[in-house]
C-alpha cells in the first residue's frame, strides 16, 4: 500500500518533537520534523497469528517487525520507554502485529547520512495513518532509573567505529522466558533509552561513558513463567550488573508522557 504524504508532527513523539500538555498532534511542523529526509512509503501490516517470539529491526531501506504491539512500535519510533505511553485503548494495546515497510525508491546516500533518531522516526507516518493516531505530551514526576557504572568498571569494549551510532546493527529477540539485545556502535545514552522500556521505567544515562560500544545483554522478563532451568537468564537488573558492569539505580525525575488520544485498529492492506 502506498502512503500519502504525512507530516511527522501528526504524532507528537518525545523527545524528538516535544509538545506542551496543551498542544495536540495537529500542531504546525517543527524544524526537527522537517529535518527527516526520508519515510517509508510502502507498508503491509497484519495481525500476528502464529508464534510467541518477537523482533524488529532495520535493513537498509526496509523495516520488519514480528509479533509486536502498538506500544512497542511507539517505543521504537518515538524513542520513548513503553511505560511512558498512556491512553492506548485496551482492545488495541493487547493486539500483536507483523509489519513490513519499505522505501520504494531509496537514496543510498541519504540513508547513510541519517541519524538514529531520523531512522526511527521514518516509521511514524505509517503508524499515524494506519492506526489513525492522535496524541499529545505532558510532563510528570515519576520513578526513574539512573544507569551508573559499578565498582570494577564496564564489561564491554569500545566499538572499532567511533564515528557514528549504528542503529541498523542493533536488534533484540524475545519470547515468554528470554530477551536478548545485541548491538554494535551504540552510545550509553541510546542504551539507557532501550532497556528503559524493558525495565518499565525511564532510564537516565549517568555512566559518564562517552563514545560507542558493542555489547550483548540477555535477561528474563519479570512476567516470564517460573523456570527451574539453572541456565535461564537473570532479571534485567541482575543482567545489567553481571553482564555489563552497570547498575539501574532507583531515583525520581521529570518524565515526558506520550498520551494517545485516539487509536484504531489498522486499515486493511
Region 152-179 average pLDDT: 75
Q: Which of 84, 92, 79, 54 is nearest to 253 (CA)?
A: 84
| Distance, CA of 172 to chain centre | 11
pLDDT digits (tens, 9 = 90+) for 172-193: 676 667 888 888 888 998 888 7
Q: Given this model, what pLDDT does residue 45 score?
A: 93
Interstrand relation of 212-219 and 157-158 (parallel, antiparallel or unpaired): antiparallel
**151 pLDDT tier (thresholds 50, 70, 90):** very high
Residues 248-263: tens digit of each pLDDT: 999 998 888 999 999 9
Mean pLDDT across 80-104: 91
The predicted pLDDT at position 16 comes to 34
The single-letter DSSP state of residue 90 is H
Strand order of the β-sheet with 62-68 is 42-47, 97-102, 62-68, 54-59, 171-174, 179-187, 212-219, 157-158
First to last CA, the chain: 6
- Specify the DSSP element, H or E, that contains 145: strand 134-149
Give the residue-averaged pLDDT of 26-55: 65
Q: pLDDT value at position 33?
A: 38
Query: pLDDT at position 58, please?
Result: 82
Q: How confident is the model at residue 268 (pLDDT cuts 50, 70, 90)?
A: low
CB 216 within 8 A of CB 243: yes
Phi, psi of 181 (to 5 degrees): -120, 125
Q: What does the DSSP assignment read for 180-245?
A: EEEEEEEEHHHHHHHHHHHTTSEEEE-S---SEEEEEEEE--TTSPP---TTS---HHHHHHHHHS
Spatial separation of the C-alpha atoms in residues 181 and 81, rounded to whole Å: 15
Burial call 22-40: b when 16+ CB within 10 Å, e when fewer: ebbbebeebebbeebebbb
As a whole number, mean pLDDT of residues 215-241 equals 83
Average pLDDT estimate for 213-226: 83
Query: How do strand 97-102 and strand 42-47 relate by DSSP bridges?
Result: antiparallel
What would the grid cell of residue 44 be? Answer: 503491509
Q: Check residue 43 and give its pLDDT.
A: 83
The predicted model gives 29-48 an average pLDDT of 65
Average pLDDT taken over every residue of the chain: 79
Amino acid at each position: 500500500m502506498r502512503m500519502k504524504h504525512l507530516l511527522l508532527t501528526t504524532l507528537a513523539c518525545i523527545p524528538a518533537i516535544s509538545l506542551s500538555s496543551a498542544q495536540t498532534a495537529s500542531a504546525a511542523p517543527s524544524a526537527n520534523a522537517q529535518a527527516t529526509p526520508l519515510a517509508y512509503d510502502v507498508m503491509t501490516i497484519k495481525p500476528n497469528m502464529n508464534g510467541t517470539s518477537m523482533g524488529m529491526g532495520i535493513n537498509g531501506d526496509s523495516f520488519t517487525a514480528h509479533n509486536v504491539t502498538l506500544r512497542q512500535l511507539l517505543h521504537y519510533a518515538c524513542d520513548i520507554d513503553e511505560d511512558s505511553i498512556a491512553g492506548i485503548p485496551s482492545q488495541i494495546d493487547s493486539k500483536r502485529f507483523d509489519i513490513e515497510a519499505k522505501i520504494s525508491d531509496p537514496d543510498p546516500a541519504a540513508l547513510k547520512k541519517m541519524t538514529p533518531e531520523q531512522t526511527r522516526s521514518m516509521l511514524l507516518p505509517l503508524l499515524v495513518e494506519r492506526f489513525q493516531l492522535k496524541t499529545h505530551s505532558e510532563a510528570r514526576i515519576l520513578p526513574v532509573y539512573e544507569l551508573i557504572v559499578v565498582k570494577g568498571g564496564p564489561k564491554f569494549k569500545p566499538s572499532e567505529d567511533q564515528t557514528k551510532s549504528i542503529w541498523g546493527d542493533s536488534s533484540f529477540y524475545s519470547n515468554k522466558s528470554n530477551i536478548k539485545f545485541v548491538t554494535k556502535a551504540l552510545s550509553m545514552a541510546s542504551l539507557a533509552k532501550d532497556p528503559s522500556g524493558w525495565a518499565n521505567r525511564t532510564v537516565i544515562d549517568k555512566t559518564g561513558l562517552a563514545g560507542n560500544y558493542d555489547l550483548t545483554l540477555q535477561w528474563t522478563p519479570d512476567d516470564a513463567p517460573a523456570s527451574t532451568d539453572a541456565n535461564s537468564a537473570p532479571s534485567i537488573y541482575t543482567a545489567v550488573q553481571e553482564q555489563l558492569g552497570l547498575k539501574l539505580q532507583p531515583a525520581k525525575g521529570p518524565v515526558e508522557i506520550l498520551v494517545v488520544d485516539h487509536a484504531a485498529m489498522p486499515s486493511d492492506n
